[in-house]
Amino acid sequence: MKNRWLIENGTFITMDPQQPVVEGWLAVENDRIAGLGTGQAPDEERKLGAELVDGRGKLYLPGLINTHGHAAMSLLRGLADDLRLQDWLENHMWPMEAKFTGDDVYWGTSIAAAEMILSGTTTFLDMYDHMDRVAEVVEQSGLRAVLTRGVIGLCPPDVQTAKLNDAIGFAKSWHGQAGGRIRVMMSPHAPYTCPPDYIERIVAAARELGLPLHTHMSETAAEVAQNVKDYGVRPVEHLDRLGLFSGPSLVAHAVHLTDEEIALLAERGVAVSHNPVSNLKLASGVARVPELLKAGVTVSLGTDSAASNNNLDLFEEIRLAALLHKGVTGDPTAVPAPEALRMGTVYGAKSLGLEGETGVLQPGLKADLISVRTNKPHFVPATDYVSHLVYAASGADVADVWVDGKQLLRERQLLTLDAERIRFEAQRAFDRLRA
Ligand SMILES: CSC[C@H]1O[C@@H](n2cnc3c(O)ncnc32)[C@H](O)[C@@H]1O
Ligand SMILES: [Zn+2]
């Protein structure tokens, strides 16, 4: 039984350079976009008996793609603000995370999934623990996700091995599951928490499994200095020597880079997840995004966790990416609005190995799309919708969300998650953790 539906009289911001804005119709069949065109839908579309969706007063665009986060840490939102990364991580996050159960990860990830759907994210990357529980939430919520069991190697060799085996087992169980909506990467947490030989073991496992690698890298100046002290080289060269860039890889942050390191990342085809809000909140610095883009590096956007942001609204990351680098460089043309929107959609898909699957409204690609209501003062005048989406919109403007052609949000009502139950359980989980 084909599930076919047709949006009429909509404005589609496709992110397809061939036809960037389409005033017209979009058809979906099952999980993929079946057609897109200007004006009225052709008669044959209507004869297919598709369910009709009235697109008047709405902008449609590809679902947003959040390429770095730790969803369950939404339970720790606001717990430890105004701290530098190492203090925040070692003295506040890790002691609380040591108490996390699988249920805590389930409810923390659920509240994050609800927030992401409500703010227009359709795909997210998650690096955490208890990943089976994270995968359960992805299955139930209908989101698309790249999941990675983050491993910290500051432990005895037998525990290192147990963690690596857990990550390998998770990858074998879940890669390609949830109707293909779940993909997996392998993740050494960071160069400062994983000894070199351990990173090499994780790299070898990833190559054996045919999976990309993901890690935190060069987030703070202190991290870079410590890497030089410990290993005699900066993190980029250190990870390159360990083979981390020998295949598909995505690094989070990449804040403190030299010109030579930018060139190496470009040459190796390493993608970067730029997390501007988290980098500012932890006083880590500002990544050299204009130089990375100019060098040809794929730069996407991530929120990091709600404990260092403190929301998961990717519209905010898009807007900040378009503003921050203008201010830092003094160049008003740095990261123009269309590029910032590509970072939150197309470049996100490329960073996650999902290019040609999602991130663009184009026949044949997955029906991962969102709508934004434009009957609001901050969308007046109806001039440049890309400008409004980047410089005026927020996640609160999202009305509808579809992933794989299945609706997850209708007029801001969650359809796959019980928002009230999730809020209750997430609060209860935090109250227990805090006790
Ligand atoms: C091993 S699971 C993930 C691990 O990462 C920690 N984390 C959260 N945010 C950051 C960040 O910005 N830099 C480094 N590590 C981070 C999280 O607390 C988990 O322990
Ligand atoms: Zn992180």
Separation of CA 217 and ligand 1 centre (Å): 11
Separation of CA 301 and ligand 1 centre (Å): 16
- Nearest-atom number in ligand 1 for the CA of 128 is 2
Of 196, 174, 195, which is closest to residue 185 (Cα–Cα)?
Answer: 174
- The residue ranges of every structural domain in the chain are 4-62+361-414, 64-352
What pLDDT score does 50 carry? 79
Tokens representing 415? 């359809």
What pLDDT score does 1 carry? 62
For the Cβ of 405 lying below 6 angstroms from any atom of ligand 1, the answer is: no
Helix/strand/coil for 311? coil
Known binding residues for substrate: 97, 149, 189, 219, 304
In the block, tokens 């009289």 appear at 9
Nearest CA to ligand 1 atom 13: 216
User: Identical fold at 4-62+361-414 and 64-352?
Assistant: no
Residue pair 295/271 in contact by the 8 Å Cβ criterion: no
**CA atoms of 337 and 321, how far apart (whole Å):** 9
Separation of CA 33 and ligand 2 centre (Å): 33
For the Cβ of 119 lying below 6 angstroms from any atom of ligand 1, the answer is: no
For the Cβ of 372 lying below 6 angstroms from any atom of ligand 1, the answer is: no
Separation of CA 18 and ligand 1 centre (Å): 39
Nearest ligand to the CA atom of 89: 1
Nearest CA to ligand 1 atom 20: 94
pLDDT tens sequence for the chain (435 residues) = 678 999 999 999 999 999 999 999 999 999 999 999 999 999 888 878 778 999 999 999 999 999 999 999 999 999 999 999 999 999 999 999 999 999 999 999 999 999 999 999 999 999 999 999 999 999 999 999 999 999 999 999 999 999 999 999 999 999 999 999 999 999 999 999 999 999 999 999 999 999 999 999 999 999 999 999 999 999 999 999 999 999 999 999 999 999 999 999 999 999 999 999 999 999 999 999 999 999 999 999 999 999 999 999 999 999 999 999 999 999 999 999 999 999 999 999 999 999 999 999 999 999 999 999 999 999 999 989 999 999 999 999 999 999 999 999 999 999 999 999 999 999 999 999 999
In sequence order, the 6+-apart residues with CB closer than 8 A to the CB of 22 are: 11, 12, 14, 36, 37, 38, 361
For the Cβ of 305 lying below 6 angstroms from any atom of ligand 1, the answer is: yes
- CATH number of this structure's domain 4-62+361-414, picked from the four choices 3.40.50.720, 2.30.40.10, 3.30.1780.10, 3.40.50.10860: 2.30.40.10
For the Cβ of 202 lying below 6 angstroms from any atom of ligand 1, the answer is: no
Separation of CA 126 and ligand 1 centre (Å): 11
Known binding residues: 68, 70, 97, 149, 189, 216, 219, 304
In the block, tokens 């942050």 appear at 253
Nearest ligand to the CA atom of 304: 2
- CATH number of this structure's domain 64-352, picked from the four choices 3.90.960.10, 3.90.180.10, 3.40.50.2300, 3.20.20.140: 3.20.20.140
Separation of CA 349 and ligand 2 centre (Å): 18
Known binding residues for Zn(2+): 68, 70, 216, 304
For the Cβ of 97 lying below 6 angstroms from any atom of ligand 1, the answer is: yes
Nearest ligand to the CA atom of 68: 2
Q: Return the best residue to mutate from 89, 134, 160 for the ligand 1 pocket (most ligand atoms within 8 A of CB).
A: 89
Which DSSP string do the residues of 80-149 spell out, in sequence order?
A: S-S--HHHHIIIIIHHHHTT--HHHHHHHHHHHHHHHHHTTEEEEEEEESSHHHHHHHHHHH--EEEEEE
Q: Return the best residue to mutate from 83, 187, 273, 305 for the ligand 1 pocket (most ligand atoms within 8 A of CB).
A: 305
Of 288, 311, 274, 303, which is closest to residue 396 (Cα–Cα)?
Answer: 311
Helix/strand/coil for 345? coil
Helix (H) or strand (E) run with residue 432 in it? helix 419-434
Could you give the strand order of the β-sheet that contains 213-217, starting from the edge strand earlier in sequence? 213-217, 249-253, 271-274, 299-301
Separation of CA 363 and ligand 1 centre (Å): 37
Nearest ligand to the CA atom of 308: 1
In sequence order, the 6+-apart residues with CB closer than 8 A to the CB of 213 are: 185, 186, 187, 188, 202, 203, 206, 244, 247, 248, 249, 250
What pLDDT score does 46 carry? 80
For the Cβ of 70 lying below 6 angstroms from any atom of ligand 1, the answer is: yes
CA distances from 308 to 73, 83, 277, 328, 389 (A): 9, 9, 8, 21, 24
Tokens representing 22? 């389409």
What pLDDT score does 228 carry? 98
Of 306, 304, 340, which is closest to residue 320 (Cα–Cα)?
Answer: 340
Tokens representing 225? 């200095």
Tokens representing 271? 């993608």
What pLDDT score does 34 carry? 96
What pLDDT score does 69 carry? 98
For the Cβ of 115 lying below 6 angstroms from any atom of ligand 1, the answer is: no
Separation of CA 162 and ligand 1 centre (Å): 19
Residue pair 61/369 in contact by the 8 Å Cβ criterion: yes
Of 251, 250, 261, 150, which is closest to residue 198 (Cα–Cα)?
Answer: 150
- Nearest-atom number in ligand 1 for the CA of 187 is 1
Query: In 10 A of CB 407, how many CB atoms?
Result: 16
What pLDDT score does 48 carry? 80
This prediction's pTM: 0.98
Q: Return the best residue to mutate from 104, 189, 193 for the ligand 1 pocket (most ligand atoms within 8 A of CB).
A: 189
**CA atoms of 405 and 5, how far apart (whole Å):** 9
In the block, tokens 């005699």 appear at 232
Nearest CA to ligand 1 atom 5: 189
What pLDDT score does 45 carry? 85
Residue pair 309/278 in contact by the 8 Å Cβ criterion: yes
Residue pair 61/361 in contact by the 8 Å Cβ criterion: yes
Nearest CA to ligand 1 atom 16: 89
